[in-house]
Amino acid sequence: MAVPETSTAQLDDATAEPKTGFMGLSGELRNFIYRLALVSKDPLLVYLDIDPEPEREETPEHLPTQHATERPSMFTNGRINIARPKPKPLDNPPTVALLQVSRQVRREARSIYYAENLFTIHNDFTKFYINSKLEETRQIERFRAWQIDLGDSLQWIKRLHVCTYKFIGAELVPYVMFATEHPDVSIEVSSMHGACARCEEDRTEPPELVPLAEKLAILKSPGWIEELQAGNIEEMCIWRHRDNPTRVPPHGAHYTIVGPRWYYRVVKVSYGIEASRRIKGARKWQELCEKLSQHYEFTLEPLKLRKGPSYLMKVAPRHRSER
């Protein structure tokens, strides 16, 4: 019979013989030491690199999208150098080597390291390949590779901060899928476009970190979660929106201007082939639209295909925006 793995140091048996050394300390004291050594007040950056080299060089004619007109200063001898951002150094980085001291120390300390630190996924690649399929493919592959590298340590992760240069199109979808598969993990996003001060040393703006579920209402909708977990939804297009500033009636002599509030909204949904085959006719598609409606209104556009009629679900916001 397998013995379940303990997540932190346990209380010592009062009847056990006294021990000397680190493992002879009480469980509470060992956990205290683990936290001193492994928990950082700063986020721990997860860089999803393209290549092992610190810089990536491309000739202008082979670049996926814009570069020559928008970033002329980046060219050197007809080539373009894409320098990686410099990470902000940690004041007190965790002593990760502690996890390799012994099997028991790793068994006790691993959950503290992964559960009590904030891990930042910094997609610096996206600012140089805006709106390219290469960008989306690379990002998805790297995010999946990071999960595979974590192995069973993924069970301890509690907080992720996603820092990216573009939250439009399909870029957010891998994290939405991750959120549905790991509901205990809080995925936090920043209030600003681009990298925030947590990730780059030349940034000074304080980020407003909020849970993704507060900005994307489908993560609180049982209908959406059911369809996502079933793998029926093949693609989604999610855009970031801001409301216009509003005037609040005055408490005194002046009106208060409330700044624009931002949120994410689904603008297009595509169903996979197998899922589409199970949905027969416009009526069934309309029932599905009602299931997913929430703050949306769907319109169905018939598509003429060789294998029979299909439908494209176009999404429009209702009068009240999604929060």
Q: What is the pLDDT of residues 77-98, one digit of tens each?
A: 444 444 555 666 777 889 999 9
Does residue 135 share a domain with residue 198?
A: yes
Does residue 166 share a domain with residue 96?
A: yes
Per-residue pLDDT tens digits for 117-169: 999 887 655 455 444 555 556 667 778 888 898 899 999 999 998 876 555 55
Q: Which of 174, 190, 215 marks a domain boundary?
A: 215
Does residue 291 share a domain with residue 203?
A: no
User: What pTM, to 2 d.p., does this model score?
Assistant: 0.66
Does residue 131 share a domain with residue 249?
A: no
Model confidence at 68, pLDDT cuts 50, 70, 90, reads very low
Reading the block at residue 11, the tokens are 């209380």
In a domain, 18, yes or no: no
How far apart are the C-alpha atoms of 229 and 227, rounded to whole Å?
6
Is residue 196 a contact partner of residue 163, using CB atoms and an 8 Å limit? Answer: yes
Does residue 155 share a domain with residue 243?
A: no
How far apart are the C-alpha atoms of 21 and 242, rounded to whole Å?
58
Does residue 237 share a domain with residue 211?
A: no
In a domain, 12, yes or no: no
**pLDDT value for 52:** 42
**pLDDT value for 81:** 47
Name the domain count of the chain: 2
Q: Which residue has the tokens 């409330």?
A: 258
Does residue 184 share a domain with residue 46?
A: yes
75-76 vs 79-83, strand pairing mode: antiparallel
Does residue 205 share a domain with residue 222?
A: no
Q: Lowest-confidence range among 99-113, 144-158, 247-261?
A: 247-261
What is the domain extent for residue 257? 216-323
